[in-house]
Structure 1
Amino acid sequence: MTQKVSPDMKKDGVKIVYVLLDGVGDLPHPALNDLTPLEAAYTPNLDSLARNGSMGRVITVGKGIAPQSDIAVFNMLGYSFRDGGYVGRGVIESIGCNIDFRDGDLALRGNFATVDSDKNNRITDRRAGRIITKKEATEVCKALMDKIQFSDKDASIELVPTVAHRVVIRIRHNKMQLSDKITNTDPAYDKIEGMGIAKPTTSEDIYVQEAKSQDDTREAKAAAMLVNEFTEQTIRILQNHPVNIARKAAGRNPMNCILSRDSGNRLPQVQPINKKYGMSIGCIVEMPVEIGISKVLGMKMYEAGSLDDYEQKAKVAADSLKTVDAMYVHLKGPDEFGHDGDAKGKKRNLEEIDRRFFGVLAKEVSKVKNPVIVVSGDHSTPCIKKAHSDDPVPVLVSGNGIKQDGSARFTENYAKRGSLGLMMGVDVISKVLKLTSDNTNE
C-alpha cells in the first residue's frame, strides 16, 4: 500500500483543494427529463472550473463494487485494502466518535430503523425517517445500555449516537477477543474482505437479518450470538419506549430497531498521509466516519461550521492553504437525496453547493498562488436506485497550469469524454501530482 512519490511531483508553490461530493454520481432520471442531477443543475462555478481543466472518470474501489463511503474515501485518498486488510467501518466510526475501543472489542456501525415486529421484523424504514434529534437518540441509547442483559455476563455494550439515524456499537468481552467474522443484520449491505458493499434491495420486502459466524471459532460464534441478543432485546425494549410513543403520536416513524453492519475488531495500521505523499494535507470533515479516516491518516482537521455551512467551508479551505500544501474537503449533501430517490432535491442541493461553496472558493483561492482545484465523489448514489452503485464518478482537475480538454460542464457525460480517461480511486492523488509536475517541467 506504500506509494512512492518523487519530490518533483509536487509543483513548487502549487496549492491543492481536493473536494469529494458524497454520492455525486447519478443516472438519467425521468423527473429531470432523463438528465442526471448534475446535467439538470445550474452550476456555473463548477462549469467554469471544468472549462479551465481536464476531466475523467473514477472507479472508486473496484469494478462491480458499490462501495460504502468509508472504503471509498480511503481509496480516493490513495489507500487500497483489496488484500483484505481493512478493519471495517465500525472501527473507523468508533475512532471518529472517540469510543474507548481496543483490539479484541467488536465495533459495528448501526442505523436506527423502523420495523414491523408483527411481520417478522420487516423493515419499513432503514433510517427511521432520518429526522432524529440528539435528545431522542441519547435517551434511547441510555435505555438500551441500562436494560440489555447478555446471557454471557462477561459481555458489555456501549452505544454512541452520532448524526441523525447513525449510531456506533461497541461490544466488549472481559475474557476473550471477539472475532469480526460475522455477517450483518442490515440487509442492505454485505461485507467482503472487511469492506462494506451495498446490496440491491427492495424497500417493500426486507427484513432484519440474523448475524451468523463466518468461521467455526469460539470467538466468531460468541460475537454473532451477542449481536443477535442485542438486536432482539433492542426491538423488545424500544417497542413502547416513551420516545417512540411520542414519535408515533407526532406521525413520525418510531426508531424501534438498530441495524448493524461492518464489524471490526482491531485498530488500523496505515502509513500517515503526509509521509505517503511528502506534503502536508489538512481536511474539513464532519461525519464520524470521515473524522475517523482523518484521525487514522493523521490529517490536521479544521473547524468550518456545520454540515451545510458551505461558505465557511470554502473560506477555511482557501485560508488554510497558507499553512498546508493541500486541503481535502468532504461535502455530504448529494448522497442523502440519492438515498431518498429525490432527483429534484439532489439537483437543488448541487446548485446550492455550486453557488455557496464553489462560488466562494473560486474567489478565495484567487488570492492563492498557483491553486489547483480537484473535484470528484466517493461513489455514485443514483436516485433511481436509492442506493450506492458501482457507476464511475466524474473527476475534474482545474487550474491555470492544467491543460484544457474541451470540457464545458462538470457532468457525467463530459467526464466520460475527458482526457483523463478512466482511473481507479487509489490513483487519483498521484495522478493530480503528476499533472502538476508535468506542467512544471514543460
Structure 2
Amino acid sequence: PHDITGKPIAEYLPCGNSFEEINSIMRRAGEILLNHPVNARRKEAGKKQANSIWLWGQGVKPQIVPLTQKYSLSGGMISAVDLLNGIGILAGLKVYHVEGATGYIDTNYTGKANMALDLLNFMDFVFVHLEAPDEMGHEGNAAGKIQAIEFFDEKIVGPILNKMPSFGDYRIIVLSDHPTPLDLKTHVGDPSPFAVLSSIKEENKAA
C-alpha cells in the first residue's frame, strides 16, 4: 500500500481467490476504526487517525539454504520489520529485538548499534537493518530522508566501525536493498550503492 500513496486504490484492492471476503474485512475494519477510542484520543491530540487496514503480502514460503548451514557461520538479525525478520529466520539467523525500534525515523539507532556489538562477542556476523530512509522515501520527505541517513551514519555505522578493531580481523558492508526515489515514492530496480571495508588491507585493494 505504501507504493500507491496519493493514488486511487480501487484497481489495487485484493482480487482472486477469496477477494470478496478479504475486501469485506478491510471495509469492516474501517467502520470499527472510525469510532475507536484510540482514534478518538489521537484526534483530540491533533494526530492522524488510522482509518483502515490493508491485507497484503500473501505468498509461498521460499526454499532457502540457511546461511548457517551453507557457510557454517552463526549470525543475528536486528530489524523492526517483520518481513526482514522472516527472511532472517529462513536464512538461519537468530532474530533479536531492540527496545524502542520502530521501523521509522524515531527508532532506537543507538540501541541497534549496541545490540550488534554485543552479539559480535559470540556470533560470526550480524545483519543490522534500518527502515527509516525507505519510509522517508515513501513519504516523499527529503528532509526526513537526509536526517535518517545522517542518523544511520552517526549512531549506527560510526559506533560500530569504532569498535570493530576490538574483534580482530573484520569485514563490514553498508548498502541499501533498493532505491526509493522521493519523486516516485516507491521502489525502483536501479543499482544500489554499497561500501565494503576490511581490516585486511589486501582485500580492500582487491575490491
TM-score interval (norm. to shorter): 0.7 to 0.9
User: What percent identity do the matched residue pairs reach?
Assistant: 32
Q: Which has the higher contact order (CA 8 A, sep 6+)?
A: 1
1:33-432 counterparts in 2 under 5 A?
186=1, 198=3, 201=4, 203=6, 205-208=7-10, 209-213=12-16, 220=17, 223-264=18-59, 267-307=61-101, 308-401=107-200, 402-404=203-205
Report the TM-score when normalising by structure 2: 0.81
Distance 1:291 1:336 in 2: 17
More helix by share: 2
Distance, in Å, in 1 between the alignment partners of 2:197 and 2:56 is 38
* Shift in alpha-carbon separation, 1:238–1:325, aligned structure 2, 3 A: closer
Distance 1:202 1:286 in 2: 22
Mapped partners of 2:98, 2:42: distance in 1: 32
SS at match of 1:253: coil
Unmatched segments (≥5 aa) in structure 1: 1-185, 189-197, 214-219, 406-418, 420-442
> C-alpha displacement at 1:268, in angstroms?
4.8
Number of equivalenced pairs: 199
What CA distance in whole angstroms lies between the structure 2 residues aligned with 1:310 and 1:210? 35
Letter in 2 for 1:323: F
Q: Return the letter of the residue paired with 1:289.
A: L
Q: Which whole-Å CA distance do the structure 1 matches of 2:22 and 2:5 have between them?
A: 24
Deviation at 1:315, TM superposition (A): 3.3
Preserved CA contact (<8 Å) 1:339 1:387? yes
CA shift at 1:269, angstroms?
4.2
Structure with bigger gyration radius: 1
Report the alpha carbon displacement of residue 255 of structure 1 after superposing the two structures with TM.
Answer: 1.5
Q: Quote the Cα distance in structure 2 between the aligned partners of 1:249 and 1:312.
A: 32
Letter in 1 for 2:14: A
CA distance in 2, matches of 1:252, 1:282: 36
Moved over 4 A (4+): 266-269
Deviations 1:79-105 (A, max 9, x none): xxxxxxxxxxxxxxxxxxxxxxxxxxx
AA paired with 1:380?
A: P
> What are the residue-to-residue correspondences of 1:17-28 with 2, within 5 Å?
none
Structure (1 or 2) with the greater strand fraction: 1
Indicate if the aligned counterparts of 1:374 and 1:395 stay in contact, CA closer than 8 A: yes
- Give, in whole Å, the separation in 2 of the partners of 1:294 and 1:375: 17
Structure 2's unaligned 5+ residue stretches are: 102-106
